[in-house]
Structure 1
Amino acid sequence: MQQFQQLLKDDYWIFSPTDNPFGDCAHYFVVLLIRRHPAIDVDQSSFRVHNYPNSTMGRQLVWIDLTIHCDKLTSNRISSTITVRLFTSHLESCRESSKKRKDQLSYAWSRMIQFGSTSNSVNNNRPGPRAAIFCGDLNLRDTEVQELGGLPAGIEDAWQVTGSRPELRNTWDPQRNTNASRLGFGGRGPHGRSFTFRYDRMYVHGSCLRPVDFGLRGLERVPGTRCFPSDHWGILGRFQPGSA
């Protein structure tokens, strides 16, 4: 983490559970990186780490609040500011952890909704529209979202909202990603079925931010090596200010 800070600190705000004395980092952990930009104010005091009480893998939900000054991002004369709470997490892994994973996801969704539903006069005296974004390696299966009753009202899946393009669906693909196949996953399940998953997802709550594009990243090998940046493809969402 120290090397990470040295390499990226000039371009990004970097927050991780290692910054929190109560953030139990006995296991590997997630990191939030926020690009340093004149249009973005970061409330460093808002950074929080929640240790999932049901996790046996040291998994956590982390979040931080930003204020985005829309007039500094677009030429469309939008004068509003938007308060955004960014969440990330690495939910419990493996098929047998489905119940824990669903409980963790439900908690994250509830925090998104709670933030967006808070009165404008509350929450650090920051009036104006609010939005929450939650993304990460959620290890999700589609059936698990269905078993939870689908997406809660007001929460959208960025991949679905932007067209559900099939070529952008799966982020775990051992047939194409040799990092994953080297871990022992050959890319084929029983009866020769394709063994790919949409593990990584991006959710948004709040009409003031509208998903307009979704893509995959990390599809090319690291120059000079035979490896990809990760055993997962990365995901990238683009948003535009919407109605408050």
Structure 2
Amino acid sequence: EVDSPDEDSGDIPPEPVCRRLCDQFAEITGTDSAFALMMLQNNGWSLPAALDRCFGGDAPATLALPAAASSNEDPRQLRVMSWNLDGLTDQQVEARTRAAIAVLRDAEPHAVHLQEVAPDTLDLLRRLLRDRYEFVDGRAHPDDRYFTATLLRRGRLQLLSPSLHRFEGSRMDRTLLAVRVKSANGPEVLLLNTHLESTKDFAAERKRQLSTALRTLTESAKPALLAGDLNLRDAELQAIGGLPAGVLDAWSHCGARPEAQYTWDATRNRNIQNMGRARCRFDRMLAWRMQPLDFQLVGLQPAAGTQLFPSDHWGLVGLFQLQD
């Protein structure tokens, strides 16, 4: 069902709800956010009332999740992108972000897990993608310099409930952004987006965070995916006993292709400076109750007009078959 505040309440809803209502109104009516804001304000922030006024009493009878974006898409398949955008690096950040957006549009994922998103980066992403994606902001504090964000394709995934878990031992304000969604004509899915503690010096805390994230993943009764910048070394995964039974690593499960192994690679990515030939598989997609069908790296071309890639990390795109 669509969002709407209680009819008896004269209060303005919280900003995220207002934004979601405006997005839904614009999506249904084919108008823009400015018109949506005016109509909702004039109708007490009731989406059904605003739509009824807009359609002259002929608003759609039901306002459930729109049909899937393409009739050719299998509703039990989910395409997910995960990417650390390196938003903290100021160098050519707008050009790099625009290049990442172009890659995203080309890949057409149903869900996007972004890490190291800066406020200015998020503003640009919203401006260029809000017609296509709903945004779940993963900020723990309004003044966070960087954070995670999860994007959901409109007409394909319906947001049910977001929640943010703060890792208590983190020295870097790291979190686990959990987003429950309903796939159009498909099952519910739990999407877990995270950026775990960085650098070798914080391996102990990173392992604790990974254990928490894996426990959240495997406690889900629905299909679930943990995808993000885990900053993980293989020895650290082995130290906590490896992956739990039933959890599938998308890269490994899809053939462990060497050319798609390293997601942070100083031998190929010139954004990484003074790191010799270091390369790591920091970024991973770990699936629960879903079968990885395909795994690719993206963002392998420099941003237009620059010598830089969109990020110092490659992006990940995985295709998954959802299971009951």
Band the TM-score falls in, shorter-chain normalisation: 0.7 to 0.9
1:92-116 C-alpha deviation (Å, 9 max, x unpaired): 0000110000000000011111122
Structure 1 unmatched runs, 5+ = 71-80, 117-129, 188-194
The alignment partner of 2:223 has SS state of strand
The amino acid across from 2:279 in the alignment is T
Cα distance in 2, alignment partners of residues 200 and 40 from structure 1 = 23
Matches within 5 A, 1:31-42: 31-37=149-155, 39-42=156-159
Contact 2:248-2:291 at 8 Å conserved across structures: no
TM-superposed deviation, 1:216: 0.2
Matched, 1:197 2:280: yes
1:40-93 C-alpha deviation (Å, 9 max, x unpaired): 2221xx1111111010011111011111135xxxxxxxxxx2110101111000
The amino acid across from 2:150 in the alignment is L
Matched, 1:58 2:176: no
Cα distance in 2, alignment partners of residues 6 and 235 from structure 1 = 23
1:199-227 C-alpha deviation (Å, 9 max, x unpaired): 00000111xx2110001010000111111
1:22-56 C-alpha deviation (Å, 9 max, x unpaired): x235341111111113x42221xx11111110100
Contact 1:170-1:199 at 8 Å conserved across structures: yes
Matched, 1:15 2:136: yes
Cα distance in 2, alignment partners of residues 11 and 65 from structure 1 = 19
Equivalence for 1:74: none
TM-superposed deviation, 1:2: 3.2
The TM-score, its normalising length taken from structure 1, stands at 0.79
Matched, 1:104 2:215: no
The amino acid across from 2:137 in the alignment is S
Cα distance in 2, alignment partners of residues 69 and 210 from structure 1 = 18
The amino acid across from 1:14 in the alignment is F
Matches within 5 A, 1:80-91: 81-91=186-196
Cα distance in 2, alignment partners of residues 137 and 4 from structure 1 = 19
The alignment partner of 1:31 has SS state of strand
Q: Percent identity between the aligned chains?
A: 39
Cα distance in 2, alignment partners of residues 112 and 197 from structure 1 = 23
Structure 2 unmatched runs, 5+ = 1-121
Contact 2:152-2:158 at 8 Å conserved across structures: no
Equivalence for 1:224: 305
Matched, 1:185 2:275: yes
Contact 2:193-2:227 at 8 Å conserved across structures: yes
The alignment partner of 1:236 has SS state of strand
Cα distance in 2, alignment partners of residues 214 and 50 from structure 1 = 27
Cα distance in 2, alignment partners of residues 7 and 146 from structure 1 = 41
The TM-score, its normalising length taken from structure 2, stands at 0.60
CA RMSD of aligned residues (A): 1.4
Cα distance in 2, alignment partners of residues 173 and 2 from structure 1 = 28
TM-superposed deviation, 1:8: 1.5
Matched, 1:157 2:252: no
The amino acid across from 1:233 in the alignment is W
Cα distance in 2, alignment partners of residues 230 and 186 from structure 1 = 18
Contact 1:27-1:57 at 8 Å conserved across structures: no
The alignment partner of 1:178 has SS state of coil
**Bigger Rg over Cα:** 2
Contact 1:59-1:91 at 8 Å conserved across structures: yes
TM-superposed deviation, 1:6: 2.0
Cα distance in 2, alignment partners of residues 17 and 42 from structure 1 = 14
Instruction: Select the structure that is richer in helix.
Output: 2
Aligned length: 202
Cα distance in 2, alignment partners of residues 155 and 198 from structure 1 = 17
Cα distance in 1, alignment partners of residues 232 and 284 from structure 2 = 8
Cα distance in 2, alignment partners of residues 66 and 166 from structure 1 = 33
Matched, 1:136 2:255: no
The amino acid across from 1:203 in the alignment is L
